[in-house]
Each structure stands twice: as C-alpha cells, then as structure tokens.
Structure 1
Amino acid sequence: MSINVIQLIQSALTDGVVQQLGSRLGLPPEATRKVFATLAPAVVAGLMQKGATLEGARSLFATILSPEVNGHIAEQLPQLLGSTGGVSQLEGAGRQLLERVLERRVDALSDEVATQTGVPAHATHALTGIVGATVLGVLKRHFLEARGNVGQLPTLLGHQLPLIAPHLNDSLMAALGLGGLGGFAGSVLAQLKAVSSHVDHPTPAAKPGHPSQATVQVPADAVVREERRSRGWLWWLLAAIAAVLAFLFLRGCQGEQSATRANADAAAAAQPASAAASAAPAASAASVASAVEQAAAAPVPTRDSQLSFTVDAAGKPTLTATLGSEAERKQFIDALMQRLGANNFVANVAIDADTKPADWLVRLEGLLPLMALPGAEVKVDGTRIELSGSAANAKLGWLDKLKSLFGASYQIGSFNVEQAVANATESFRGAIKGLLAPDNACASADIVKVLNLQVINFANASNQVPASAREDLNQSAQVLAACARNSKAVKLEVAGYSDNVGGEQANLQLSKKRAQAIRAYLVKAGVPADSLIAQGYGDARPVASNDTASGRFANRRIEFVAQQ
C-alpha cells in the first residue's frame, strides 16, 4: 500500500494551479513552487510524528476520513481557487484541519517557511492551509480507493521518510515542535513500526469485478475498527520451548537410572526448577510485549519547553519556565540556587507532561551570567532564543557568545522594533491586495484577519496616529468604504490594548484614546462612522508575555473585531 505522498501533492499542484495561486497572492510561479517544496515535506513530517503513537494514529486516520477533508481536492483545486473568497475558505479549512492534526498552531511553521524562502509571511500562511488541505485530501482519496485501514497508516507514513528527509532541516523541525532533524529521523521509524505492529491489519475486501462498480468508495465518515493483534504465535513459541525443555529433562533422567536414590531425589527436586526455567521465557516474552505496548501507547510530547526572565535594576532576575518533568525542575532550581543564591531570584516553574525535554538545560551555565545583568531580558522557546533590553546591547557581545555556546541548532537573535514593523507592513500590504479586488466578498472574517496584520506603532505615551501607519490605514479605509458602497458594510470594533508597564488606569485610558484616534482616522478617510466603534482594554487579554520587549510590543496593539 506504499505511495509517494509528495509526488501525489505535486500532481495536484499543477502549473495552472500554481499560476492561479501566484496571481491571487501576488507571487511569481517559481516562488509559489518554492514554498510548496518547503512546506509539503514539513507537513508530512508532522503527520509522521502524529502517527507515531496508537492514539495519534487513530486520531489522524479518523481526521483523514472525516467529512471535512475533501478527497477530490486534486481535481477540484482549479475551481476552489477561482475566487479570492475560495482561496480564503480553502486556506482557513486547511489550517484548521492541520492544527487539529498537529495539535498546535501552524503560524510558527508558516513564519519559518517565509524566512527560508524569502516569500512574504502572508503568502506562506495562506499556502500552509492549502498544502494541509491537499495533503489530507490525497491521503483520503488513497485510503478510500485502496480500502485501507488504520493499521496501514503508520507503515505508509514511515515509507515517506527517505522522500522528505533531504528537504527538512532543524529549523523546520523546531517550528513543528519536533526538535532536531537527527533525533526525529532516528526515532520516528521505530515508533511507527511499533504502532503498526499493535494495530490489526484486516484483509481488504475483494474489489467488485464489474467495471461500473469499480468506483464504489467507503463512506467518508467510516471508522475502521481495530483490535489487538492475536498473540497466538507467542503461545506456540512458548509451547515449543516447553517441549524442548521436557525432552532434555526426560533424556537426563534416562541417563541417570543407575544413580543413587539421592541423586534421583535431587533430580526430582530439580524438576520444579526446570519448570520454573521453562516458565521464565514466557514471563520474559510477556514482559517484553507489555513494555513494547506501553512504549508505543505513551504520548509523545508536542510542546517546546519555555524560559523567560527579566533582571531588575538591582540585578535580581524573575524567571518563568515550563518544563516537562519534576526532575528538570529540580535541576533548574538547583543550578539557580548554586549560582545565584536562595534569596537572589524569583522563579515560577510549571510542569507540563506534554512538554519536550529542555535541551537548553545542559547549557544553562551560559545563561546564568545574564541573569545578573541589570535590565537584561531573555526568552527561550524550544531552540529559539531572543535577547532584549541590556542583553541585546551589541557592545556587551552576548549575541555572539550565545551563538558560540548553543551552536547552529539554535536560532538566536535580538528584538528590533523597526524590523518588526517592516515585516508586519510587508505582510499586510501583500494580503490587502486580495481585498482591494473588485470581486471582494466583504466577508468580515477575511477583512478582520488582514486588517490585524498591520502594526500601528504609537510613540511612547502618545495617541497620535504615527506617520508609518497612515498608508496602511488608508488602504484599510479604502476596503471598508468600498464594502459600504456595495451595501456590504462591515461593522468593526477598534480595540486598543497596552502592555503592563505603568499604572493600570493610565494604560486603560491611553489604550482607549489610541482606539478612538484610529477610528477617527478611518472615518475621515471615508469609512461610515456608524460601522465603527472604539474601546480601550488596557493591559487585559495579553497575546504574549510582558517579560520581553517583543512580548510587550505585541501586546501594545490595535485589534479589529467583527461585530454582529
């Protein structure tokens, strides 16, 4: 039942489909192909990891056969991509399915693909959903036509490793939450094999001979039932071992008929030991089988370990971490106690069994000096390290020191506000093109998604609309005004938020004034006043940790929310 999933995906993404998508997203065909070539192997790797546990394989198979997955997507892509609304719908459905399967958001993967291909992030985010829908669709088509079952899924996925490995790298694997490529490639095949051996493989029913019945398919909501594979072979093996031991025992007895009764008694006394020895292989085999089953059924952690800390003016750090075990927590706290002293730090450590081992713990010694540097801010997310505050001061050289210490498997950088704004502007201006098209359906969900890509970077303590945001706001107003003229007015709330620096009431008032300033700007640019309301929420509902500059930057935001 082996297939080449990548080849099936390439067959679905024909030149015509690539050109359609390129024109919708503002990309040349070669850039679109480049994104597909990077995304597809990464998505398949994510499915392999999902299928590497018994429950994961069952869940993945059920999702593949669910009604939400389009088994005819390969033929229908040209029609599905015929409009901007169709692209958005397919993207959204694909991302939702992919996130359900991978049990994590796929934004990190989309961002990493954007980094590696040089394609704007808005385009890679859209293509991620489309690739996800296509991968699951071609798998569904294959399983339906081949009358496949869940027991064949891990084996099929295992056959993809040599096909996708040349196109993967540590950064892509980290974005998927799978650690390094070497560790993944070295363990996933054994895990898939173990799962496959513990799921029944029923013989497929014979296909109808009449040509007109050859296209009959299993219903899309069919769930293949699975039972434990019979262990009859094990009992036959144990019986054979017992027979051999009995034969040797009897032969020994016949050779010792002339021995004394004492010897005979000793031989008789040895019989229970022989019986125990004959039972030992049975116990051993049963233990091994049980251990294999438990190992195969054990869930594989999916979340990256986390660490962030800020250091106050007196050099005392406040640390927040999420680790996978009590042993890691103890190792972490012991290192802090030894280096910093019991009363010289504040640590909040959460234990989450779904968190992968913290590779950075073995390199913690290199981070400890930063924990005493006043004004330092550090965030560790799996294999990504971000420096801000005094830790990002180029004169202190911490960026180069950590790169040398952690090696190429880690992505280490410092936060830069100007670069963050520039990246957001690029993503927004690429995405807004689709909404400016004459056939824009004015779907509020699509409009909100695009408008929230823009970053309005107010000056400190100011509610004056920054010059850097005005062009993007003008384009936003153009879209909203056009929808209103076409009797498709979109009603939005302009919500203002702040970080947690400063007083609560001051932040609340400033966030409200900023939201009102954005509303007033859009109304002046032609948006109907009755379609917009403004509200401030201060530091409520943070979208990131306020421990780092990038987190505070993300929390200081204007957010557009669709209103009924």
Structure 2
Amino acid sequence: MSLNLIQLVQSVLTDGVVQQLAARLGLPPDATRKVLATTGPALVAGLMQKSATLDGARSLFATIHSPEVNGHIADQLPQLLGSTSSVSQLESVGRHLLERALDRRVDLVSDEVAAQTGVSAHATHAITGIVGATVFGVLKRHFLEGQSNVGQLPTLLGHQLPIIAPYLNDRLLAALGMGSGLGAFAGTVLSQLKAVSAHIDHPTPAATPMPEALASVQVPADAVEREERRSHAWLWWLLAVIAAVLAFLFLRGGHIEESDDQADARTSTTMAAAAQPASAPAVASATVATGAVAASSVEASAAAAVSTPAAAVAPTRDSQLTLATDAAGKPTLTATVGSEAEKTQLIDELTRRLGAYNFVQNITVDQNVKPADWLAHLDGLLPLMTLPGAEVKVAGTRIELSGSAADAKLGWLDKLKSLFGASYQIGSFDAAHAVADATENFRNAIKGRLTPDSTCAPADIVKVLNLQVINFASASARVPALAVEDLNLSARVLNACAHSGKAARLEVSGYSDNVGGAQANLQLSRKRAQAVRAYLVKAGVPAGSLIAHGYGDANPVTSNDTAGGRFTNRRIEFVAQQ
C-alpha cells in the first residue's frame, strides 16, 4: 500500500494548473509553486499526527470518505479553477475538511506559510484550502480503488515521513499544534502510527470475560436441545448431499478405469446411502477418505509441476539511478531496481551516510530489471550526492556525468573510472557528440527507405524519422543548419511515398524539457514543430499530409534531472495519423 502522496498531489497540480491558479490569485507562478511546496508536506504532517491515535485514524478515514470529498478532483481540477466562484467554493470545502481533520483553525497553518514564503496571507489561505481538497480527493480515490480499510491509513501516512521531512520545520509543526518540534515528531510518529495500524488489524481482546457477560442470559434447556437436534439433522443431510456430489464427480473424472455400468452402480449406491440420515456419518467418513486420495493426487501433481518449472524469464532491462543535487547540496535520487532487497539496501545506505532527512528519493522495484551491480560501488558516488549542481545518470554499466560532476577541474571522471574499473563505461554528457551519434544512426537507417522496393507503411517510416535529432539553439525555433541534410533525406522518403500514391499522414510533435515556464515551453515547442513542418513542405512534402503540434514539457521520455535527460526530452517526434 506504499504511495508517494506528495508526488501524487504534484501530478494533479500540473504546471498548467499552477499557471491557472496563479492567474486567479494574481500571483507569479513561482510564488504559487513555493506556497504549494510548503503547504503540501505540512498538511500531510498534520494528517499523520491525526492518525497517530486510534480515534483520530478512524475519524480521518471517515472524513476522507465523506460526501464533501471529491474523489475525481484529479480529473476535474482544471475545470474547478475555471471561475472565481468555483475557486472560492473549492477553497471553502478544502478548509472545512482540513479543520475537521486537524481539529484546529487552518488559518494558523496558512499564516505561517505566508510568513515563510513572503506570499500574502489571503493567497496562502486560498492555496491551503485547494491543496487540502486535493489531498483528500486523491486519498479517497486511492482508498476506493484499492478497497482499503482504516487500518491501512496510518501505514500509508507513515510512508510519507521521509518524503515530507525535508520540507518541515519547527515553526510549521507548531502551527499544526506540535510544539515539540521536528525531531520529536519524526522520532515518535512512526511508532505511534504502526501501533494504531496493528491495533485496528488485530484488536486487543476485551478485558471482561465473555462467560461473565453471558451469565445473566437465561435460555430454556429444551430450546437448546431442540435447536441442537434440528441443527444436526440438516447438517448431516447437507454433508450427505455434498459427499454424494463429490463422489460422483470424482468417480466420473478419476484416474481409475471402470466400466460405465460399474460407475453407475457405485453412484447409485452412494446416492442411496445419502438418502439415509442415520448412515450419514459413515458416508461422510468415506468421502473424507476419498477426498484424501484426491488431495494426495493433486499434491503429487503439484509437486511434479514444481519439480519441473518452466524456465524463468531473465530480466532484460538495466537498473537505473539518476542523481541531481541542488544548489544547497541536497540530492534527489530516482532509481529503478530489480528487488525490494536492493531498494532497502540503497535506502539504508543513503540514510546511514547522509541522514534520513537529507535526501529525496523515488525508488521503484521492477522485476524485469537486472541486478544493480553499481550498488557495490555506492561509496564512490556518495561524495557527488553532496556536490551542489552535480548530475549523474547510471544505466546498467554506463555512467554519465553532467553539471558540476562533469567539471574537468574537479576530476570526477577519472576518479570514477578508477573506482568502477574497466567493466563500466564512464563519460560526460556532450550534446555535440550526442547529435553526431544520432545523425550516424539515422543516415544508416534511412538508406533502407530510399530503395525502390521500400514500403510506405507509416509505422515503419516514423520509426526511422524519429532517429534524427534536431538540436535547436536555446530559446530558438529556427531549424539548425546541422539538421538540414537529415530533413532533406526525410523529405525524399516522404515525397517518394506521396508520388506512389501512398502519402503518409504524420503529426510533427514538439516537446521541451522542464526548464523555464510551462507556457513559454509550450509556445516554443509549438513553434519548433511548425518550423520543421514548414521546412518539409518547402522541400516538396504535401502540406495536407503534415500537421504540427507543441506539447511543452509533457510526456518526457526520461528524467529531466540530468543534462542528457533534458537533451533527450527536447525533441521533435513524428507520429503516424489515420
């Protein structure tokens, strides 16, 4: 039931939603993001404290499932922010839910957020209510889809501590009514949540013995005797019928070969015995014996199946680790490993070396991922995790450095080569080399599309066209000179198909990385897609076969945490259309 609640809320409060909310409140988007980043973890901490008692957990669970909570808010939030009145209503609902859950005025929290972010209290009050409504909405949907019970709520909230702790401080906790501070909260809340969850799942027996409680209830003896006799009678009838059916099915499908006459005779005998209540125990005993034989047969078959298992599918994908350290020296790690044991090992090592609240992690387990051999060399990467501006990507046995980690003066390239050995390929990201490699791959592949017998299947065409990299200059939508030759080759392929009456209808899709404002990225990606389409049309490709769209930083194909990842996400992508 593990869930990154903050990440889930952030996926709802997209850049587009933040822009929309900022416009409604008259705030710059960056200020809105700052309030969101402070408010979300604080509210989750308040919910954790609420669930640290048995009554509190039950009350919070009831609030989450109350009719006021919109379980579809993740899908409806852009529409809910469509007017000033709907924003006010959403804020009001969220604040009401928070005050019911936290047992205190939510203004105390939003006032502290205002003091720490420098944003007006009026705006922080509104954002706090909206974040509260969002948190309750995503929790309700998660619980309903998972058919979860109240005992799982404290466990789920307990998983949030490592995620929210870096964003908490004593003043925020004091506003939530936890005056003992962050250290005391972090040191006690997990054990309290665990105890509540365990009690709900395995309640402590009542102290008063049940016989004493029942001693005052007088039941006539003859009523008990009649009930017992009647109860046994129908029970034996039921057992007899079940025995007869099981025996019939077993004999019809068993491995013992016998004639149809013998089978019919045995079934008739069994059914006759079932008609006699007095002999029911004997029938039941016979059935149990028969069932034991059948069970033994099944167990033997199962054992045989286990002894000759099908060949397990070997993992095919490389383990991944992406590291990005911010200007303050706090790292964010995103990883995919092949087992829970590797995940635990990684988190334990990071906690031991960096401290539980000095890093942000998002580690997932995928059984199709190969063992993470780089875990054995984690000591060598740890110093980079505290180097401001460092970026590292590990994929299997390939390591790519960027940011300050690639600074030749610091010598990290040579250090890691010495540490990891010849079995690892270690280098620094270089955009020019990446473009050159992509160009070579594209030109080798497109030769097969320039032959007379090549097909014009759209899926085959876009597979080749998407090998090219059009590396626009920063903030520019002008087709770069280095991409002209590749685009001319693309136009030749598309024109050949059009001349043969098999023109491929394609969308030219533009994407950006996540650096900069969402609206600016959206506009830039659209202009770049339009520029590529215009170039292809100028080269003779039928204008009606191409459309252009920009999607900004949506649909990243890899993490934006490294220079190589951002380079990959800034792309022109061709998509086949009907």
- TM-score tier, shorter chain, comes to 0.3 to 0.5
Rg larger in 1 or in 2? 2
TM-score, scaled relative to structure 2 = 0.45
Q: TM-score, normalised by structure 1?
A: 0.46
Q: Which has the higher contact order (CA 8 A, sep 6+)?
A: 1
